[in-house]
Amino acid sequence: MADINILAPFILSFEGGFSNHPLDKGGATNKGVTIATWRRVGYDKDGDGDIDVDDLRLLTDKDVIERVMKPHYWDRWKADRIKSQGIANLLVDWVWASGAHGIKIPQRVLGVKVDGIVGDKTLAALNNSDPHALFDRLKNERIAFIDRIIAADRSQEVFRKGWLRRLNAIGYGSLLHNGEKLPRWFKA
């Protein structure tokens, strides 16, 4: 079964630190966590009575993994029940980057009800598919999704190269952490 400890360092390697890019629709972000997401988590990290950008700036890797990634993204995909680590990596990273689209588009590919909720039927269809063929199909769907985002809003073109570099760092049996020359291998 898939293991978050393989994926989490990969995601964090690409997220970097605090950012508030004017074209980023997520607004202020630290380690990949938007201010809106941190407010949903509901943790006033600095204890000043409100949850704001000051709290976001204080996030640690542990905060991101334990308070955000695991409960809101990994568990949303029920990834502990996904047999293929490679598939789990691709899917959880997709939902991390794109919300419900990272579930609904794979559900369409799998031929199950497209509702954005991972249940037993979605997991069965996923785990009963040829994992390598499914990985390739999902990766192609994610590239097409990126292209649709940019076609709908040309201002997002500025992010395309980085989005594709990150996506291409996810291999069926490997992850290439940001800045590394050689991939880290795992059993797909």
pLDDT tens, residue by residue, 33-83: 999 999 999 999 999 999 999 999 999 999 999 999 999 999 999 999 999
Cα diameter, the chain: 51
User: Which range, of 6-10, 26-30, 48-52, 149-153, averages the lowest pLDDT?
Assistant: 26-30
Query: Is the CB of residue 90 less than 8 Å from the CB of residue 169?
Result: no
Residue 26 has pLDDT above 90, yes or no: no
Residue 25: per-residue pLDDT: 75
Residue 24 has pLDDT above 90, yes or no: no
In sequence order, what are the residues at sequence separation of 6 or more whose Cβ sits closer than 8 angstroms to the Cβ of residue 18? 28, 29, 30, 56, 57
pTM score > 0.95 for this model?
Answer: no
Average pLDDT over residues 2-11: 97
Residue 16 has pLDDT above 90, yes or no: no
> What are the CA-CA distances from residue 22 to residues 19, 27, 155, 162 (Å)?
9, 7, 10, 16
Query: Is the CB of residue 10 less than 8 Å from the CB of residue 89?
Result: yes
Give the integer Cα–Cα distance in Å for 175 and 156. 25
Cα-based angle 34, 1, 8 (whole degrees, multiple of 5): 25
Residue 22 has pLDDT above 80, yes or no: no
Q: Which CATH class is domain 4-185?
A: mainly alpha
The number of angstroms, rounded, from the C-alpha of 64 to the middle of its chain's C-alpha atoms is 12
Cα-based angle 77, 80, 81 (whole degrees, multiple of 5): 80
3-state SS assignment for residue 180: coil
Give the integer Cα–Cα distance in Å for 186 and 145. 27
Residue 154: per-residue pLDDT: 96
Give the integer Cα–Cα distance in Å for 68 and 129. 29
Give the integer Cα–Cα distance in Å for 155 and 54. 28
Query: Is the CB of residue 71 less than 8 Å from the CB of residue 78?
Result: no
pLDDT tens, residue by residue, 101-112: 999 999 999 999
The mean pLDDT value of the chain amounts to 95
Average pLDDT over residues 157-185: 95
pLDDT tens, residue by residue, 138-168: 999 999 999 999 999 999 999 999 999 999 9
39 burial level (CB within 10 Å; 0-12, 13-18, 19+): middle
Residue 156: per-residue pLDDT: 93
Domain boundaries, the chain: 4-185
Gyration radius of the chain over CA positions = 16
